């Protein structure tokens, strides 16, 4: 597609429920990032994929968070047993391998509200 697509756009989950957030990057983009943006804050790094390999997951806040990109294209961020503090916008960004400092294309995000 022409841009980075994220779904669902909005998700309301009851506390304790598992959720799965999808990111469809720009076709051919090797690098894929997930960020978490709490209300009134800047985006915080969660994890990074290069193709199907998850090379950095140091930003995942707990072992309830899990991300995968099994075929090197679509990625899924899964949150188990959601808590209220997980409420945030989850942003996905992708870039071609040679982008270096060229910046990334961000999706519109998934707004997760845990009630």
Partner 1 sequence: AQSVTQLDSQVPVFEEAPVELRCNYSSSVSVYLFWYVQYPNQGLQLLLKYLSGSTLVESINGFEAEFNKSQTSFHLRKPSVHISDTAEYFCAVSELIQGAQKLVFGQGTRLTINP
Contacts with partner 1, residue ranges (CB under 8 A): 4, 31, 33, 35, 40-45, 48, 50, 55-56, 91, 93, 95, 99-104, 106-109
80 is written with which tokens?
A: 């188990």
Closest separation in Å from C-beta 107 to partner 1: 5
Closest separation in Å from C-beta 17 to partner 1: 24
User: How far apart, in whole angstroms, are the C-alpha atoms of residue 98 and residue 36?
Assistant: 25
Number of Cβ within 10 Å of residue 92's Cβ equals 27
The residues with which 44 forms a beta bridge, in sequence order, are 36
Closest separation in Å from C-beta 69 to partner 1: 14
Identify the three-state secondary structure at position 9.
coil
CB-wise, 14 or 40, nearer to partner 1?
Answer: 40
CB-wise, 17 or 51, nearer to partner 1?
Answer: 51
42 is written with which tokens?
A: 């800047």
């Amino acid at each position: 597609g022409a841009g980075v697509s994220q779904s669902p756009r909005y998700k309301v989950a009851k506390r304790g429920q598992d959720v799965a957030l999808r990111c469809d990057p720009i076709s051919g983009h090797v690098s894929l990032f997930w960020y978490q943006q709490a209300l009134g804050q800047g985006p915080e790094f969660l994890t990074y994929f290069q193709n199907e390999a998850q090379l950095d997951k140091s930003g995942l806040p707990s072992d309830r968070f899990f991300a995968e990109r099994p075929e090197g294209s679509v990625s899924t961020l899964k949150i188990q047993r959601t808590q209220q503090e997980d409420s945030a916008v989850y942003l996905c960004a992708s870039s071609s391998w040679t982008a270096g400092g060229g910046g990334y294309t961000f999706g519109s995000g998934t707004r997760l509200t845990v009630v």
